[in-house]
Structure 1
Amino acid sequence: MGKLSIMLHDKCRNSKESTWPLRKYFRHGGRRDAAITIAQDQWNVEFSNLFIGHKIFHGAHSQIYHGKYKEEHVAIKFVKLRENDEKGTLTSLLETQFFREATYLPRLNHQNVVKFVAACKDTHFYMILTEYLQKGSLRVYLNKLKSKPICLEKVISFSLDIARGMEYVHAKGIIHRDLKPENVLVDEDSHLKIADFGISCKVSKCDSLRGTYRWMAPEMIKGKRYGRKVDVYSFGLILWELVDGKLPFQDMGPVQVAVAVADRNSRPIIPPHCPHVLGDLILQCWAFKPQQRPQFSHIVRVLEQLLDQSFSFHRF
């Protein structure tokens, strides 16, 4: 049982249910916290309809639980603020990430982007509810394969889902900035959805927040001006991993990857079994100069043509 579940259990130790309405956790001295009431009005959260289940992920600053909200299965990202953050640096960072996700995600409505459900901000925690995808992240999916390559048709289908989702996100003027298998979710029909917009920014208002070195474009690593093409670079690394089955730069640590990519223009080796069209697309996506990388609209067209060719091959 995770810490959040323990807190709920302390408040509901007389309950016979295995999960509890979250509102019971938020009662202080017989009344609900004022901050919660404000958040409830802002994001329309009805805490009496929110139930916590088991924990499905534990990160450095957040935990994700499987729950139900108004009878809908949801993923609950719970960020508890540290009491010993005297300078408030971490709190400020987590608050920024929370507000970005709670601001951008409700504006996005696409089959390849995870659906926003609700959000809540309190003085001690932040919480975001999204649709629940039972198969978890693309990273979980790939780990289960244990570095075994995926069939070509699945590679094309997966990468097309990501490209379509990112084409839509970019059309909305948003840069994801942390596109990687951990932030791509798999639904029950094995379709992919872009998730985790905490590091995202508007094209016209990007700050110094950055994603993960292993998938980070060289211009971002160097702290230079950048735009939408940083996501295209990250997509190239994901496409390579789908083809090869291995973690990019798996023998290097994050800082080593940053130095190799930014200073030596290093990239993973395209495997010999990779079709030329996909290999060329990968090379274009992770080109050193952003202007040499394609737009996601072009990537979608290339992948759709490949998918059609794949179906034609199977028919004959």
Structure 2
Amino acid sequence: MDGYVIMTTPVHRYVSLWDFDGSGTQELSFKAGDRFQAVDRSGDWWLVDRINALGGKTGEQGYVPFNYMAEEGTMEEQRWFFRELSRTEANNLLMKGGNAAGSFLVRQSDKQDFDYALSVRATDGVKHFKILRNSQGEYHLNSSSLFPDLDKLIEYYHDRPVIKGVTLTKPCVKDEPMATDLNPLPLDEWERPKEEFILGKKLGSGNFGQVHEGYWKGRVKMRVAIKTIKQDVTNREIFRKETAFLKTLRHRNLLSLYAVCSVGDPFYIVTELLSKGDLLHFLRGPEGEKLSVEGLLDIAGQVIDGMHYLEANNCIHRDLAARNVLIGLNNICRLADFGLARIITDDCYMSYSKDVPYKWTAPEALEYGRFTIKSDVWSFGVLLHEIMSRGVIPYPGISNAELLLYLKQGKRMSAPENCSRKIYEVMLDCWNANAQKRPSFNELKISMDSLAFYEPSEESPKPVKLKGIIARLKKNAN
């Protein structure tokens, strides 16, 4: 067959990391170590064929939760590899019982200058190290010791201290994931009958509806959040836009849509339920009061990650505030309440509606109805103030009617108590009167990664901090 190229479809094979008992006729049950070949990997539940030790199909086909699977022959099979985790999640996992000094994990990073981070439990807390890669593809913590892969790097620091007095011992205990946290439906089957859901206690109110805790009866009473929206012409359009928005975007820091009910009054938007509620109440509560500055900055970083994803997809939120960020286990954050969100095809979205969150909205949006991703950056500055002040109301003592003049006079909120100058400068950058001079969320991702990483050394660890990054980025751009 000279002159022809035979195209083959790559075969994706996976190994299960935990036991799983499937419910219903379509979900497969399996044991840790079972092997599968993927047929369809769309959504949170993958269609797979079970394969035997020789790689042949057994004839069993069904759905499995994707987060129980590791691709065969990759580092995902390693007990120390934890995919994408935030710094706070890594801290919480390593400080749990069962993990002693030297316990460690490798986590994915979405930072621009490194792909992975090594987190290690020491006697005085958890230390984090950037795993860098040189132009030859070799991994290293410092340039004096280079490794062809992460396995070799981990082996090396089992025998030598990564910092003085700390060597790697055992991988961090890995919690089994919850299949009930996944979207239970294929991505093209959003519409469900309202009878499948039971409304529970009211959790709060959004801009356009009430939010209840609820149960999905067909999923062994799976706990969900149900936003109810009363039918009228305006709300019907809001419902359509919000659900269309949630269907198109998926990110670990955006709220996951499970189902919609658009028959009957009220409409339902069914999403995942996050156990700790909204960020504003969390910050004002006992857990928020005890959270360290590092923990507060990790929450801010997760919000930035979610907003950077929206920025990359030409989306604006228009209602970014602590009340619209939800908190789950290990302080994972999800952006929520997308009733005002829009996908923009031009540089901006024009709206003259007065139904906006006044104290979180940028001056150009208040005065001219001009909304851009940079107006979301302004809102993030206010949200960062909420985070660092642990839930103080913005602009105390200033009414909505007075706010625009206050801002046009160049006045800004003062720094929260015990907030560092560096963090306050990020807020001031977000509140630049010239929208074009505000940082992008991509620049904020870099500048807010200002917590200390450690360089491996036989001496005392020296924290390396990123300073003045926004200014340097802009200087280099010019």
Structure exhibiting the larger radius of gyration computed from Cα positions: 2
In structure 1, what is the Cα distance between the partners aligned to 2:265 and 2:404? 34
Given the two structures, how large is their TM-score scaled by the length of structure 2? 0.51
Distance apart, 1:254 and its partner CA: 2.8
Cα distance change on mapping 1:155 and 1:109 into 2, 3 Å: same
Work out which of the residue numbers 238, 244, 254 in structure 1 matches 2:400. 254
Distance in 1, matches of 2:341 and 2:223, equals 25
Give the structure 2 partner of residue 169 of structure 1: 310
**1:274 offset after TM fit, Å?**
2.2
User: What secondary structure is seen at the aligned counterpart in 2 of 1:113?
Assistant: coil
Letter in 2 for 1:248: P
1:292 is matched with which residue? 437
Residues 10-66 of structure 1 show CA distances to partners (whole Å, capped at 9, x for unaligned) of xxxxxxxxxxxxxxxxxxxxxxxxxxxxxxx97331444322222212457522111
C-alpha contact (below 8 Å) 1:220/1:226 kept by paired residues: yes
Q: Which of 65, 76, 80 is 2:230 aligned to?
A: 80
User: What are the equivalent positions in structure 2 for 1:42-61 lying under 5 Å apart?
Assistant: 43-58=190-205, 61=208
Is contact 1:214–1:258 with CA below 8 Å preserved after alignment?
no
Is it true that 1:151 corresponds to 2:272 in the alignment?
Answer: no
Residue pair 2:194, 2:261 contacting (<8 A) in 1 also: no
Distance 1:175 1:186 in 2: 21
Matched, 1:243 2:393: no
Measured in 2, the distance between the counterparts of 1:149 and 1:268 equals 24
Aligned length: 263
Q: Which moves more between the two structures, 67-76 or 167-176?
A: 67-76
CA distance in 1, matches of 2:287, 2:272: 27
Quick one: distance in 1 between partners of 2:462 and 2:417?
21
Rounded Cα–Cα distance in structure 1 between residues aligned with 2:350 and 2:189 = 26
Q: Deviations over 1:62-116 (max 9, x none)?
A: 22111122423211001123xxxxxxxxx33322221111001111111111101
The amino acid that maps onto 1:267 is: R
CA apart distance, 1:237:
0.8
**Residue pair 1:150, 1:242 contacting (<8 A) in 2 also:** no
Indicate the larger mover: 58-67 or 279-288. 58-67
CA distance in 1, matches of 2:312, 2:373: 10
The answer to whether the 8 Å contact 2:207/2:339 transfers is: no
Q: Paired residue for 1:124?
A: 265
| 1:66 partnered with 2:213 | yes
Evaluate the alpha carbon distance shift between residue 109 and residue 42 of structure 1 in structure 2; reply closer, same or farther with a 3 A threshold.
closer
The amino acid across from 2:436 in the alignment is Q
The residue number in structure 2 matching 1:3 is: none
Which residues in structure 2 correspond to 1:134-145 (within 5 Å)? 134-144=275-285
Which of 310, 329, 333 is equivalent to 1:192? 333
Q: Per the alignment, do residues 92 and 255 of structure 1 end up closer, same or farther by CA in structure 2, a change over 3 Å counting?
A: farther
The equivalent position to 1:104 in structure 2, one of 232, 239, 245, is: 245
Q: CA RMSD in A?
A: 2.7
Q: Is the 1:55–1:65 Cα contact (8 Å) retained in structure 2?
A: yes
Deviation, 1:122, is 3.6
Residues 62 and 191 (structure 1), Cα distance of their counterparts in 2 relative to 1, 3 Å cut: same
Contact 1:157 1:307 in 2 (8 A): no
Assess if the C-alpha contact under 8 Å between 2:193 and 2:261 holds in 1: no
Where in structure 2 are the equivalents of 1:203-282 lying within 5 Å? Answer: 203-204=344-345, 206-208=349-351, 209=353, 211-245=356-390, 246-261=392-407, 263-271=408-416, 273-282=418-427
Alpha-carbon distance, 1:280 to partner: 1.5
Partners of 2:283 and 2:398 lie apart in 1 by 19
Deviation at 1:230, TM superposition (A): 0.8
Q: Bigger CA drift: 91-100 or 285-294?
A: 91-100
Hey, what's the Cα distance between the residues in 2 that align with 1:50 and 1:170? 34
Conserved? CA contact 1:149–1:242, under 8 Å: no
Where does the alignment leave 5 or more consecutive residues of structure 2 unmatched? 1-187, 455-460, 464-478
Contact 2:206 2:337 in 1 (8 A): no
Q: Partners in 2 of 1:121 and 1:102 — Cα distance? A: 10
- Asked if 1:160 is matched to 2:301, the reply is yes
Q: Which residue of 2 aligns with 1:94?
A: 235
Say which is worse superposed, 246-255 or 176-185, in terms of deviation: 246-255
- 1:259-288 deviation per Cα after TM superposition (whole angstroms, max 9, x unaligned): 423x32332102463223212211111111
Report the equivalent of 1:86: none
Q: Which of the pair has the greater relative contact order for Cα pairs under 8 Å at 6+ separation?
A: 1
Identity %: 27
Go from structure 1 to structure 2 and tell me whether the alpha carbon gap of 1:227 and 1:60 turns closer, same or farther (over 3 Å shift).
closer
TM-score between both structures, scaled by the size of structure 1: 0.75
